Amino acid sequence: MGETNEVTVIRDAAWIAAWDDDQQRHVYLRDGDVAFRGGELIHVGGRYDGDVAHEIDGRRLFVMPGLVDIHSHPTSQPLYKGIVEELGNPELWWSGLYDAKAVFTTDPEGEAHSAAVAYAEMLLSGVTTFVDLSHPFDGWVELMAASGARAYAAPMYGSAGWHSENGREVIYDWKADDGAADMAAAVAVIEAAEAHPCGRLGGMPSPATSDTCSPALLRDTMDLCAARDWRFHMHISESVQEVQEIRRRHGVSPVRFLADLDLLRPRTILAHAIYIDTHSWVRWHTREDLDLMASNGVSVAHCPTPFARYGAILESFGAYRRAGLNMAIGTDTTPHNMLDEMRWACLLAKAADGNLDATMTADVFEAATVGGARALGRDDIGRLAPGARADLVTVDLTHPSMRPARDPLRCLLFHALERPIKAVYVDGRKVVDEGRVLGLDYDAALIGLEAAQARSEAGVAARHWSGGSAMDVAPPAIPFGD
């Protein structure tokens, strides 16, 4: 259907989250049609009277644009299910980065199963475009294509790895080639994604973090992005350890460090940017980070769940938006449930500001749709408007979790989440139907993931500085009985 000139219409949709170009915002429309020809939307709202090849009864549906997940880690995070939810490192400020989950490593087979599980979770929660920050593995590009989503490979690399011998000190393991070989491998993956015949794939380099990348590697990456018209995507200010290390080396915050390297540009996507110089966990004399990001046109990939698990929040989503930053939403961690992440983003933003209306559902919905599209340099996704790509989601208004559907977005985010999603379309092709991902074997991927997690746990004692087992390092929620 997505490769033909035939027209599909969702007839008399009860609710539509349409894009109003004059107002530059999403608006509700009632009892109208949504029509697409092949992979392009040709009509949104009102009556479509043209020829129709396929007609869908929309009288009990809410139609909304597909969500844009700007930051995900599919090859690692699903493996941590049941492990990472309450696992931290108090010796390093309850870091969400430099903690014991790093010893729960997996193998290439496990990475592929993990990615398939994450892709399915994203699709089932209404994501039609995602950015996958992973280390390259065999079959990565083909797996993204098979998912049916619009996907960007963002291969991660750096000048150094890290380890800890005592859980209190981070030791950086610098590479002799400054990460040049890994950067070249990342470029090869991006080129393969862009050349894939499905036409839905792209890519961007992703130098890992400010403390694991040399200034030279970061400059070389930005030069490459400018030459190839790629986005530049990296983690920044995501742990207090990182902030302290950059201050030790350079005497500035991580955001100022990037600014001094001329890396804050409209093509830049900064993941997290939690611990900027105004954050309560960071004691620093400047108050410039927020303005540096906003004035240089960068985008922030906001992923609230992993930080909330450690007791930290962005301070605050509302303040970042008011400063003029383009905010986008990512899933980052397990589960890769975009709707759940949006709910947390909305609730935690209210808590951060101590103000109910400092961040509203519409603000988070914008970030998860057109905000992500802007971060990718696109105006043809994340919105329902003629000329945009036919990336859309239908929600069953008769599902108990949606009733009464007085306000379908609020019902979806605060009550239903992924349960009432009926279908997901990318480029006019159905990729989710009645809770089933059509392009991936979700059940087989889950079986493979379970086996991979067991293999990972078996090797924890040899990798953790304490010598403890997986159950010692990440004990269960309640103890085992006699």
pLDDT confidence of 115, banded at 50, 70, 90?
very high
3-state secondary structure of 280: coil
Phi and psi, residue 65, nearest 5°: -70, 150
Mean pLDDT over 165-190 rounds to 94
Q: Is 475 a residue whose pLDDT tops 90? A: yes
Residue 164, pLDDT score: 82
Could you report the per-residue pLDDT of 333-365, keeping only the tens digit for each?
A: 999 999 999 999 999 999 999 999 999 999 999
Could you report the per-residue pLDDT of 186-243, keeping only the tens digit for each?
A: 999 999 999 999 999 999 999 999 999 999 999 999 999 999 999 999 999 999 999 9
Instruction: Quote the tokens at residue 352.
Output: 């951060």
d(CA 342, CA 253): 28
Q: How far is CA 480 from CA 126, 363, 469, in A?
A: 38, 44, 15
Residue 467 or 96, more confident: 467
Lowest mean pLDDT among 98-102, 163-167, 431-435: 98-102
Set out the domains of the chain in order of their start, with CATH numbers. 7-65+385-437 (2.30.40.10), 67-375 (3.20.20.140)
Query: Is the CA virtual torsion 189, 191, 193, 195 positive or negative?
Result: negative
Q: Is 3 a residue whose pLDDT tops 70? A: no
Q: Is 107 a residue whose pLDDT tops 80? A: yes
Q: Do residues 330 and 300 make contact, with C-beta atoms less than 8 angstroms apart? A: no
d(CA 159, CA 53): 54
Q: Do residues 341 and 330 make contact, with C-beta atoms less than 8 angstroms apart? A: yes
Residue 133, pLDDT score: 98
Q: Is 50 a residue whose pLDDT tops 90? A: yes
Lowest mean pLDDT among 79-83, 289-293, 368-372, 393-397: 79-83
Q: Is 1 a residue whose pLDDT tops 50? A: no
Could you report the per-residue pLDDT of 283-303, keeping only the tens digit for each?
A: 899 999 999 999 999 999 999
> Cis before residue 404, ω within 30 degrees of 0?
yes
Here the contacts of 243-249 (C-beta below 8 Å, separation 24 or greater) are 243/275, 243/282, 245/170, 245/211, 246/210, 246/211, 247/284, 249/211
What's the full length of the chain, in residues?
482
Query: Is the CA virtual torsion 23, 372, 184, 262 positive or negative?
Result: positive
pLDDT confidence of 2, banded at 50, 70, 90?
very low
Q: Is 466 a residue whose pLDDT tops 50? A: yes
Mean pLDDT over 141-147 rounds to 98
The per-residue pLDDT of the chain, averaged, comes to: 95
Q: Do residues 263 and 292 make contact, with C-beta atoms less than 8 angstroms apart? A: no
Q: Do residues 222 and 172 make contact, with C-beta atoms less than 8 angstroms apart? A: no
Could you report the per-residue pLDDT of 417-459, keeping only the tens digit for each?
A: 999 999 999 999 999 999 999 999 999 999 999 999 999 999 9
Instruction: Quote the tokens at residue 297.
Output: 């046109």
Predicted TM-score of the model (pTM): 0.96
